Amino acid sequence: MKQQHIIAAALVLLTGLSFQSQAQSPTVQREVRLISPSTGGNYVGMKASTSTATYTLSMPATLPTANQVLTVSGITGSAVNLTWNSPDATGWSLTGNAGTTASTFLGTTDAQPLVMKTNGSTRMTLAQDGGVTINSLSGAAASASATATNEGAVVSDANGLVSKASYASIVSAGLTNSTTGLTVGGPFTVSGLLTANAGLAVAGGSLNLTGAHALQIGGSAGNAGEILQSNGTGAAPSWSSAFIKGRGLVSVSADESIVVSATNVDADDAINVTLEGSSNDMAIPSYYVVRTANTGFTIYFSAPFTGSCNWSVVNQ
């Protein structure tokens, strides 16, 4: 009787195990594993929900340094390799970067401009085609100094290289190479020789020549007393000694002589006199002239004359 009870208990136990096995079927639970890079076997697992794929993350072989972060260095299937990386190595730091090379740059790799802002407003834009736009230049306007040696203007060459050029070099380049002339909005001072290969036009003002330097025509300053004479359209002017130094009209009323004041007359000037009568029918006397250098001259008539004397003094 005792043996029958043992067999019955065994049957009940086996039946219960069978029911439990059928009621609780095994499930597959995925996990993220941090695997040791040295052994490849030891790992720390972080279990995920049922039916989630398993990813293997391989830790770096070396310890990190301060401020480094864990980043992905490579992926092969479900195996992911991790490495320690410094944020400044892949981005621009607010405190500066080290280890930069000729291949590192600040900018864009697509057809977009690089915009620089302060206080939320755009200050400078580097366009996709290389053009630079500065929205505004604040501060007091600078003024050039005639004596400062470190001043200059910003210029760009044909390749876009921006550099500083002296004011003298800019003026020299403008006078030498310009085909349209040089326009100056204010006073213009040239310390050396002013060369205008295509001509020099002065409009809207006056040409004031000061100082002890001579005005030269064709390299010649002329002789004392000469004037600058026009030789017609297309011809260069020249210095000339033949010019009228003075002229005038004096009236005579029954006089035998008349004194003409001309302080600029000298010993060899030509004095021309034309007598004009006071009526249509009158006798015109003969006359002659006696000069007094630096004072004038006197016209003497052969008989009392009434009328006018046109006179001129021509430099010889």
DSSP code string of 50-117:
ETPPPEEEEPPSSPPPTT-EEEEEEEETTEEEEEEE-GGGTS--TT---S--TT--SS-SSS--EEEE
Average pLDDT over residues 177-206: 67
Across 180-295, the runs of DSSP E, i.e. the strands, are: 227-229, 238-240, 244-261, 270-277, 287-292
What does the buried/exposed string (b/e) look like for 79-113 if buried means 16 or more CB atoms within 10 Å of the residue's CB? eeebbbbbeeeeeeeeeeeeeeeeeeeeeeeeeee
Average pLDDT over residues 49-78: 82
Q: How far apart are CA 162 and CA 152, in angstroms?
A: 12
By the 10 Å C-beta count (0-12 exposed, 13-18 middle, 19+ buried), 301 is classed as buried
pLDDT at 25: 45
pLDDT tens-digit series, residues 269-311: 999 999 998 777 888 889 999 999 999 999 999 999 999 999 9
Q: Is the pTM of this model over 0.75?
A: no
pLDDT at 250: 94
For residue 198, give every residue at least 6 positions away whose Cβ sits within 8 Å of its Cβ, in sequence order, or none. 178, 179, 181
Q: How far apart are CA 243 and CA 229, in angstroms?
A: 9
Q: Give 55 or 96, the one with higher predicted confidence.
A: 96
Q: Which of 54-58, 96-100, 116-120 has the highest mean pLDDT?
A: 116-120
pLDDT at 308: 92
Q: To 5 degrees, how large is the angle CA 95–CA 98–CA 101? A: 130
For residue 157, give every residue at least 6 positions away whose Cβ sits within 8 Å of its Cβ, in sequence order, or none. 163
pLDDT at 29: 55
Q: Give 130 or 174, the one with higher predicted confidence.
A: 130
CB 36 within 8 A of CB 58: no
Task: State how far the alpha carbon of 307 is from the alpha carbons of 11, 84, 259, 284, in Å.
Answer: 172, 119, 15, 9
Quickly count: other Cβ atoms within 10 Å of residue 313's Cβ. 23
Report domain extents, the chain. Answer: 29-87, 244-314
Helix (H) or strand (E) holding 177: helix 167-177
Q: HSE, CB side, 13 Å, CA atoms: give it for residue 10.
A: 6
pLDDT at 178: 58
The two tokens of residue 121 are 């407003």
SS3 label, residue 291: strand
Average pLDDT over residues 40-44: 71
Q: Could you tell me the pLDDT band of residue 54, with boundaries at 50, 70 and 90?
A: confident
